[in-house]
Structure formats: C-alpha cells, structure tokens
Amino acid sequence: MAEIKYEIVEKIGSLSESSKGWTKELNLVSWNGRDPKYDLRDWAPENEKMGKGLTLSAEELKKLRDILNGMEL
C-alpha cells in the first residue's frame, strides 16, 4: 500500500475530543502534494495518526454550510 502524505495547512477548529485524546477536527489539508481541501476527521494527539474522514472542496463546504443553516436543530 502506498504511503499517504499530508500537510495540515491550516487548523480551523476542533469539534470534540474522545477519552483517548483523539479530536474531531476541521482542517485545510494538502493530500499527496495536491491543492489543499477542507477535511473533517478524527486525529490522534499530535496528528500522527488519522481516522476515516470527509474531504470537501470550498464549494462543497459552502453548500454544506447552507444546508446546515437551513436546518432546525
């Protein structure tokens, strides 16, 4: 399996933290040297490991924001 390279370009915010110290974060991440995208996933302390997540373009993130703004929570 090929190694996945990533660079967290900007830490935007943390949504939660588990009892083991993993945090669910929204970050701007460059994957394998590509242009950065918005990324929502769980990260181990110091960002040395990651869980499965969701990567969104700026346009997709805007659409998600609009959908969430229209919801009653």
Q: Give the confidence band of 71 by pLDDT, cuts at 50, 70, 90.
A: very high
The string of pLDDT tens digits covering residues 8-64 is 999 999 999 999 999 999 999 999 999 999 999 999 999 989 999 999 999 999 999
The confidence score (pLDDT) of residue 34 equals: 97
What CA–CA distance (Å, rounded) separates 56 from 73? 23
The pair of structure tokens assigned to 55 is: 């990567």
27 closest CA partner among 17, 60, 5, 15:
15
What CA–CA distance (Å, rounded) separates 47 from 45? 5
22 closest CA partner among 46, 55, 56:
46
pTM of the entire structure? 0.88
pLDDT at 66 over 80: yes
The confidence score (pLDDT) of residue 54 equals: 97
**Which CATH number is 6-69's, of 3.40.1670.10, 2.30.31.70, 3.40.50.2300, 3.40.50.1820?**
2.30.31.70
